[in-house]
Structures are given as structure tokens and as C-alpha cells.
A and B are shown apart, each in its own frame.
Chain A
Amino acid sequence: MIPRNVRRALAGFSWPIYVLLYTPLALVAWYSFAPAPHTQGLSVYAYGVMLHDHSVFAALRRSLILAIGSAIISTVLGVLLGYGLSRFRTPGAKGVLANMPSLIIYTPIIMPSLVFGISELIFFNFVHRFTGLLGAGLGTMMIAHITFQVPYVTLTVFARLAGLDQNLFDAAHDLYANGLKSFWHLIVPVVQPAIIGGFLLGITLSIDDFTISFFTAGPGSVTLPIYIYGAIARKGVTPEINAIGTLMIGAVILLAVLHFIITRHRARGAELAAKGTI
């Protein structure tokens, strides 16, 4: 396919790009081992400072609550939505009404985070002013995070279901009269990889976000990204910030590798299972 000399040129070009992609992250890790004051050589001093900073732990706890909580709810909403759209929509329908669900689902994906965040800020503010509900804080951040995760979970589940044999649904229909039962016993196991994938994707999206969190945050809802951003704006990049950054990068790499292994493994398992039963 690709001639050997071209392949060599491609490799010569690409490996440096891979290195460049990881250089900034590696430097963050490297500088996190900065020497302690008045000493020389590498040290874990910055990690000690970080461990003694209780605001870092509070921020970490909030980030985890936010990521896991929002991913659970968006997985539930997204799985139902993806299932419903793939299963119960009249095929081939045209017109605005029939396309409405797709339009709604693509809005959070296509809307710039900044517009997303500011819209939420204003909306929560008005609701709070007139009803006393939805005061800015971890709760409003959770709502916003669920909103931007739902479409991704939906698309993941939809893609999985769209690839399935229509016979499976008919078999489910014959086996279980109850729609809920057929959903639970047949559909859920089959789309399990997509559900897990969607859930992990939700967590990743939540951890990745800064802009939307920033505009929906309230008193005492500083999460790790907001903490880092504030600290950099105030003091510039310090070894302590690098230590936190290093741990975050490490956690994401771990999560990604886990995701990679699980989805590949599960996908193969589920395919085999599906082939075997039907």
C-alpha cells in the first residue's frame, strides 16, 4: 500500500510529534520534583506541601463527587435516550418534529463551552432570584455537567444499538411481554460495553471541563481545575501546582488504559455472547 520510503518518512515525522505531544506534560511531572527550599536535587517536597493543604483535598473531593455523580445520572438518561431513539422512532420520518431529538442532542456538543457556561450562569441566577432554588454551587455544576455528558452517552449507546441485529429486539419482544423486563434482561447486557464506555466518557468529560464549571460555581464549590486555575492566575506555576497536575495526568492515563482494556475486552465478549445466543 504505502511505499517503504514514504513509510519511513511518515515515521520520521510522526514520532517527534508524539514526543512533542507529551513534552509539556512530562515537564509538568519533572518540575513537580523541584528541590525543597535551600536544597538541591530532586525531591518530593512539593507533594508534601500538597498533602498538607486541606483546600486541595476539599477540591479533589468535590471534583470526584461532581464527576461520578454527574456520570451516573447522565448514563441513566443517556442510555434510555439512546435506546428510545434507536428502537421506537418511526423509521424514515421526515420533518422538523422527527428531527427535533437529533437537533436537541447535538446542541450541547456543538455549543461553545463559554456560551454554555454563561447561559447556565444567567439561567440559574434568574431561577434562584425568583424561586430560591438552584443557588450556584456544586448542585448547579452537577446539572451543567449532566447536560453536556448526556449527548455523548446517548451517541455511544445509539451507535452500539444501531449495529445490532433487529432480530434481537424481536426475540426480546417474544420472550418478555413486559417492555421493561426485555430492556433489563436483554438490552442492558448487550449494550453493557457501551454503558460502561459512556459512563467512563462522562467522567472524563467532567474532569476535562473547566469553563462550564467556572461559570456555574458558587461559594465553597472550588473543584480541582478551578483551584489550579486560580492558583496559576495568582502565583504563576509553582511546584505544588505541578504536583497536583502530575497526579491528574497520571489518573487520566490510568483511567484511559483501563477504559481501553475494558471496552476492547467487553466488546469482544459481548459480540461472542450475542452470536452464541441468537
Chain B
Amino acid sequence: MSGAVTEVALEQARQRRRLWMTSGPGLFWIVLFLLIPSLVLLGIAFMSADDYGAPILPLSLQPFQQVAGFSLLGWDAGNISILLRSLQQAGIATLVSAVLSYPLVFFILSRPEPIRPLLLLFIVLPSWTNQVVRTYAWLELLGPNAPLTWVAHHLHLVAPDLGIAPGSFAVTTGLAYNYLPYMIVPLYASAEKLDWTLVEAGRDLYASGAKLFFHTVFPQTLPGLLSGVIFVAIPAFGDYVVPQLLGGDKALMIGSLIANQFTETPDWPYGAALTLIMLVVTGLGLVAFRVLSRRLGGAEEASI
């Protein structure tokens, strides 16, 4: 009896040792090179800056006053409008990719099964090239003297001699382009499992196609959509490359604002405080969507 107990205990200890030997190195790596560094960064948000922007003691909340918009020029809504602008850009980009994704996903599902993976691959493919390349590629369409700019001039949407890029329309386009696959893939995964008998049943009940869609298809694909929203909105909100290349510093987004505090006009504590705010906003969004998806009965995606 007691022998069996020790045997079980021994086996458990062995399992634990194996767990640590196999998963230890990888976990340790991430903790050392990402978790600790990001905690250091967040700690800096509560320090003072020396004359040259390096973090020093004593602890201080001044960085957060700067975040709130207090500076030597008096109070300025600049930072708040940057935050709102970033949220708005990310929101529009997410909406655009969701609206594009539904028809695309069902288009792929309407094709014969063997070619579906290929059709999906061709949507994901551009996102595997380097982000700088696929972002600057839009300058070829939206920059001054580029084809779409020319069209926009003739429609009087853009002043002569200016391009669509740099500008906020170009940033939104770039964000939607960069993150569209992140919406398509989860949406496809949930649409693939769609219960078509429900749709068939609904066909008799609802006269219009829109009603049919919103009562039968939409609820079933909601979990995929919500994951997609998270996968698109989070990186789009904090993106650095797209606003830098297509926004031209005119309409600063939070990513560029943060990067500035570590590059051209160094003020590490202020930059760290901005980062903290960005992470808090991101985290709130994440929690909100998890609650939402749970309440709407979305299935938990398979996870480790």
C-alpha cells in the first residue's frame, strides 16, 4: 500500500523533473529576455528624468503628468488626441478588415475543398514579406505622383501637388492591408465549422439575405470574428512602421510618440509612462473582448 503511494509520488516527481528539463530552457529564455525587460521598462515609468532624459531616482509621477498633456506650453490636448487618433485608426482598420473578410472567407468556402488552402495561402502570403516592404509598397499607389493619387486629384479629394500619402487615409489603408490575414484566418476557422442546417432552416424564416446572415451565419462565426478583432486591433493600435512610412509625422500615432522618447528627443521615463498607458488600453480592450466573447457563448479556442 505505502509502496504504491511512494511509487506514485516518485513518478510524479519524475514527471515534474522532465517537465522542467524540457520546458525549462524555453520558458526561462522568455522570462529573462522579455518579461524581466518589460518589467524594467514599466518600472522606469515611475522614475524622474535627469537633464538628458535618462531615468534617475527619486520615484516620481511626473511622467504621467506629461502623458496627461501638461508641459511648458501649458496643458495641451495633443496626447489625448494622439491616443484617440490611434484608437480610431486601429478601429477603422479592424472594421475594414472585418467587412472584407466575410465575403472572402465565404468565397473560399464556396470553392472546391482541395483548392481552399491555396486560396487562403494567397491571402496570407503578402504578410510574410517584410513589413517595411509591404508598407512602402503602398507609396507606389498612394504617394505623390502615384496612380491612386492621380485619381484622387481628378476627383478633387486631394489638393494638387500633395499625395494621399503621407496622411491618415494612407495609414488606415496600410494598417488594414498589414493585418487583414489576422482577421481572415480565425474567421475562416470558425466559418469552416459552420452548421449549414441552421442556415437552411433559417432560409424559410427570414425573407431577406441580410436578416438570414445576421440570424444564422453571424452568431456562429462570432468567436472567429472576436479573435480576429483582437489579432488586428492590438498590433494596429501600437504599430510603428505604418505611421512612420505612410503618416509622415503629420498625424502622430502613439507608436511613433513612444519611439520618439527613446530616439530623437530622449525622455525615457515619459516614454515608459506612455508605454504603460498603451498597454493598459490594450489590456482593457483584451479583457472587454474576452468577457464579450464568453457572454456571447463563443467557444474557447484550443489553447495550451
The short answer to whether A and B are in direct contact, CB under 8 Å, is yes
CA distance A248 to B126 in the complex (A): 11
Q: Sort chain B's interface into a size bin.
A: 35 or more
**Total A-B pairs in contact (CB under 8 Å)?**
244
Asked if B262 and A123 make an inter-chain contact with CB atoms under 8 angstroms apart, the answer reads: no
- The interface bits of chain B over 282-304 (1 if a CB of A lies within 8 angstroms of the residue's CB, else 0) are 10001000000000000000111
Cross-chain contact of A225 among B26, B30, B131, B278 (Cβ < 8 A):
B131
In the complex, per-residue mask of B30-63: 1 if CB is within 8 Å of any chain A CB, else 0: 1101111110110010000000000000000000
Known contacts being A14-B103, A107-B30, is A80 close to B137, with CB within 8 Å?
A: no
A168 CB–B CB distance under 8 Å: no
| Residue B67 is within 8 A (CB to CB) of chain A in the complex | no
Given contacts A23-B141, A150-B30, contact A118 B303 (CB under 8 A): no
- Across the interface, which residues of A come within 8 angstroms of B122, CB to CB? 18, 21
CB atoms of B141 and A80 under 8 A apart: no
With known contacts A122-B41, A253-B125, A245–B133 Cβ distance under 8 A: yes
A211/B240 in contact, CB under 8 A: yes
Selected from A14, A17, A22, A81, the residue in CB contact (under 8 A) with B26 is A81
Does A56 lie at the interface of the complex (its beta carbon under 8 Å from any beta carbon of B)? no
B178 to chain A, nearest CB (A): 10
Q: Which of A39-47, A84-92, A188-196 contacts B (4 or more CB under 8 A)?
A: A84-92
A147 close to B140 (CB less than 8 A): no
Interface residues of A in 1-37 (CB under 8 A from B): 1-2, 6-7, 9-11, 13-14, 17-18, 21-25, 27-28, 31
The smallest beta-carbon distance between B189 and chain A, in angstroms, is 12
CA distance A156 to B131 in the complex (A): 23
Q: How far is the CB of B111 from chain A (nearest CB, A)?
A: 9
Cα distance A2–B279 in the bound complex, in angstroms: 42
Q: Answer whether residue A271 sits at the interface, using C-beta atoms and an 8 A cutoff.
A: no
Size category of the binding interface on chain A? 35 or more
User: Among A108, A118, A224, which residue has the most Cβ atoms of chain B within 10 A?
Assistant: A118
Query: Which A residues touch B270, using CB under 8 A?
Result: none
Contact string against B for A residues 48-86, beta-carbon threshold 8 Å, 1 for contact and 0 otherwise: 000000000000000000000000000001101101110
**Docked-complex contact A249 and B40, CB < 8 angstroms:** no
For the complex of A and B, the 4 pairs showing the least CB-CB separation, nearest first, are A84-B22, A112-B238, A123-B37, A81-B26
Beyond the given A80-B26, A87-B22, please list 17 additional residue pairs across the A-B interface where CB-CB is below 8 A.
Answer: A28-B133, A81-B22, A85-B23, A85-B304, A90-B12, A107-B35, A112-B255, A113-B235, A115-B238, A115-B275, A179-B18, A228-B130, A229-B132, A232-B245, A248-B133, A260-B117, A260-B121
